[in-house]
Structure 1
Amino acid sequence: MPQSPFVSLANAMLTFLLPGVAADIDPITGNRMFVAGESLVVAAMLRQVSGYNFDRLPGLDRQAIYLQGRIVSISQGSERLETLLLTNIIHNEARAAATWDGLNGEFVILRQGHSPFKTEETLGDRIVGWFEIKSN
């Protein structure tokens, strides 16, 4: 299993809800019922100032913080995955419940392409997006 060189710098936890598999059949409608799963992403992320004007999404809180970093580990359910790459199920602008530097909030991911040198397989997928602090 690949070990990220950024493990000691991990300061963010993101929980994405993923579409699950058909768990049962609704007895009334006959439709398949799906159970959503969770994907827990641990990352090392730093605040960036350059994204303020370029990647600002409509509807974001004006106090949102632009973050960039690398994935340190990914788990689905209680199982830790053998990859440092995000699944393609997580689309651009997907939202995740998040904790960053001890603050609770929501993270909006901005998906980006991979390096032609496949550095993500060793360093972990790059993760970029906006962190909105939520008051308790």
Structure 2
Amino acid sequence: MIQTCPCQHGKSIKQEDHYMSTGPSAAMIQTCPCQHGKSIKQEDHYMSTGPSAAMIQTCPCQHGKSIKQEDHYMSTGPSAAMIQTCPCQHGKSIKQEDHYMSTGPSAAMIQTCPCQHGKSIKQEDHYMSTGPSAAMI
């Protein structure tokens, strides 16, 4: 499905439509790190089911580059939320289910922010470490 980014240019985020289509799950708020920091309300079932392939989430920041993410991303646990600071223009925060980063024996991985300065976010690699695949861009 296409979810329009509420940011400056209203660019679109192309996402697996399973993203919001299933489960009884509650919702989470992902704060857009762009200019106005508006929120995108997302079902936390977001990426939680199936062996599904990867999806492309277009970064709504300045250059709209893409982040390829494994669907295990938010798929497990009842966990509370964590804050992932976006290294983009204003460094606003994205509130995410903390299972995102909370489990596993994992070491850390670096996810390069596709935004303006390409800074890195250090993340528990459980983020991408389980399921049928391992890598993300």
TM-score scaled by length of structure 2: 0.28
Q: Which structure ranks higher in relative contact order (CA pairs < 8 Å, sequence separation ≥ 6)?
A: 1
TM-score scaled by length of structure 1: 0.28
Query: Which of 1 and 2 has greater Rg?
Result: 1
